[in-house]
Amino acid sequence: MVVDLSDAAVTNAVSRLAARVPGALYGFLGGSIVEGFANTTSDIDLLVVTAEPLAGLSIALGENERLISLEDNTVLVSWIGSTRVDVEIRQAKSVESRIVILQSEGPDAFLRAEFSDGWLEFFNDLRIGIPATGLEVLEQRRSDIPWDALSGLLLRRFEFAANSAIDDVAGAVEAADFGAAELSSRIALEAGIDAWLARNGQTNPKSKWRFSKLGRVTNGDRIIDRYWELLAETSENARDSALRRAEDRVYFAQDLLFETNSQARVEH
Amino acid sequence: MSHINLSSHAKRDLTARATTIAGRTYLSKGPSTYELGDIELAIWSRLDGRTSLEVIAGGIAQDFDAPETVIQTDLVEFVGDLEAQGLIRLVGAK
């Protein structure tokens, strides 16, 4: 059974976890459960933004808990009953500096290292998250963020990835390099679909939810069918057909990019 | 006499991209651009190297409710233009 985030026992346990983070300003639940993509193995994602620097962050650990320091966040792995909870802790200064970049540069910041996949996931969670603590500060941060700029940044990122991969496929097909054509064409196809999804309001950048995201977007079904077809391996002469399949993937990616581009132009 | 006819098969150049600017659709490859109308865009999207120009013309005539013979003539001419611009390649029938 998927965890019920409205259960009082869960809510209380989440609040206690958030309160253990020194300098916590605000916190919210995010991830697959909030997004509606969860299954019975899904864990709970609690995101907490602290005023404290992450280096030297000290949290007394209980039984079976771990604290993991990553490049720009720290994760407290804890448990509520048998359900794992990842408490992702980020520093307020880092969040605010990215908001300033978004406000000043908008989608043009799409290649900046500050917007790594992890940060894009964080902002998506911030957008959809269920408040857990510090509601007033959380609401203020949400209102500071130019969400259209963030969606535009994501769209530009995927378009760039798709076009780069398409160039790679063209070179690989020309050289009859079936391996490079196969791998690059998958990237082109997936980035093309992700661009289309971003254009249609899906700001969760996680690729593992691509089919789920397509399933909730109008007209996504026609893309699911073609995507599945283009992912499928052929049973005979797999190497010989790789170049042909690579071209088909690129054609579909280009069709999606054209559609995405046309929608964007019409609405702006 | 043109070497392109209704039994020809053409496929899009992988690096050629269709974009919409100010309501008009263009094909671009490197610095060169080529403007497309609605029917031409529909033709472009069907040039997959496997479908003959005759079959494409039949589909376009149906979709746009136009005389098939007229579409066939225009399509062969259009594909010839695309080939001259390096935007498509003719391939053997698949």
- The amino acid sitting at A22 is P
Strands (E), B5-81: 9-12, 17-21, 24-29, 32-36, 48-52
pLDDT, one tens digit per residue, over A6-35 is: 888 889 999 999 999 999 999 999 999 998
Look over chain A and give the mean of its residue pLDDT values, rounded to a whole number: 91
Contacts of A258 in chain B (CB under 8 A): 17-20
Q: Does A170 touch chain B (CB under 8 A)?
A: yes
Nearest Cα residue in chain B from A255: B45
End-to-end CA distance of chain A: 43
Query: B47 CA to chain A: closest CA distance, Å?
Result: 9
Question: Could you tell me if B27 and B18 are in contact, meaning their C-beta atoms sit under 8 angstroms apart?
Answer: yes
Q: Does A2 touch chain B (CB under 8 A)?
A: no
**What does the block give as tokens for A119?**
């940060």
Nearest CB to A250; choose among B14, B25, B45: B14
Q: How far is CA A48 from the centre of its chain?
A: 18
Contacts of A183 (CB under 8 A, 6+ apart): none
Question: Do B20 and A169 make contact, defined as CB atoms within 8 angstroms?
Answer: no
Strands (E), A92-210: 130-133
**A1-16: b or e for each residue (b if 16 or more CB lie within 10 Å)?**
eebeeeeeebeebbee
Rounded CA gap, B88 and B84, in Å? Answer: 9
Q: Is B23 helix (H, G, I), strand (E, B) or coil?
A: coil
Q: How far is CA A197 from the centre of its chain?
A: 12
User: What is the 8-class DSSP label of residue B90?
Assistant: E
Q: Does B19 touch chain A (CB under 8 A)?
A: yes
Query: B16 CA to chain A: closest CA distance, Å?
Result: 9
Nearest Cα residue in chain B from A245: B48
Nearest CB to A166; choose among B11, B14, B18: B14
Rounded CA gap, A137 and A28, in Å? Answer: 11
pLDDT, one tens digit per residue, over B29-84 is: 888 788 999 999 999 999 999 999 999 999 999 999 999 999 999 999 999 999 99
Mean pLDDT calculated for residue range A217-235: 86
Question: Do B17 and A163 make contact, defined as CB atoms within 8 angstroms?
Answer: yes
Nearest Cα residue in chain A from B26: A258
pLDDT for position A267: 44
Beta bridge mates, B18: B27
So what's the ipTM on this one?
0.83
